[in-house]
Amino acid sequence: MTMLLGKKVGMTQVYDEAGRLIPVTVIQVGPCTVTQVKTSQTDGYNAVQLGFEDVKASRQTQADIGHAKKAGASPKRFVREWRLPAKADSPYKAGDSVTVSVFEGIKSVDVVGTSKGKGFAGPMKRYGFKGFPASHGTERKHRAPGSISSHAINAGRGGGLKKGKRMGGHMGDVQVTSKNHPVMAVDVENNLLVVKGAIPGSSGSYCVVKKAKSLGV
């Protein structure tokens, strides 16, 4: 299984053999506990459920506490599933611990995280709109979106907006998948994975790290 849960530690920089400076992200990956193994006979599909980072029982529901207890584990703060092929058997059983060592020998990974929340943003910041001219008669419309609808482009439906129209609104705080990050180092002793470039989210945010689909080997 080449998927684990982790937490973004932060960013730093390293030098390669040619002396070039490379920005990298340090991720604390695992150890993860297998909290449940799902099968097509009992659940309708095959999957391995992983939990990361212990949490106080007082901060969890009784259902979550009981679920973790079945696997002989403590309640976990971050839980996700890894789907397996229809006829594949899980290499793990409930209660097993999976470490960052599964990424040894893998060249690149995909990282799924939650992007930083930016609050309410206008169309210029949110979508890169050009905006109106900065001078020559423009008055109080410099960052406006421009025309948002007309009867002509909504023939037969009135002048209502089309779904998906790009306008101002909440920006960020959504799930983002950042693909094909080269793996720079795997520190099994400290459960750290160092990847090239930036990943979604702020320091301390949780993420899912898995083998890259397109370039990972």
Whether 159 is in a domain gets the answer no
* Average pLDDT of every residue of the chain: 89
Q: Is residue 140 part of a domain?
A: no
Taking the CB of residue 93, how many other CB atoms lie within 10 A of it?
10
pLDDT at residue number 41: 86
Q: What total of structural domains would you count in the chain? A: 1
Has residue 132 been placed in a domain?
A: no
Burial 146-171 (b: 16+ CB within 10 A, else e): eeeeeeeeeeeeeeeeeeeeeebeeb
Q: Indicate the pLDDT class of residue 153, thresholds 50, 70 and 90.
A: low
CA pair distance 46, 176, nearest whole angstrom: 25
Evaluate whether residue 65 is within a structural domain. Answer: yes
Confirm whether 150 is domain-assigned: no
Give the bridge partners for 50, in sequence order.
34, 80
Span 64-93, pLDDT tens digits: 888 888 888 888 899 999 888 877 777 888
| CATH at 104 | 2.40.30.10
Domain-located, residue 156: no
Give the whole-number percent of the chain exceeding pLDDT 70. Answer: 94
Whether residue 189 lies inside any domain: the answer is yes
**CB crowding 116-134: b at 16 or more within 10 Å, else e:** eeeeeebbbebeebebbee
Q: Does a structural domain hold residue 83?
A: yes
Residue 201 structural domain: 3-118+171-211
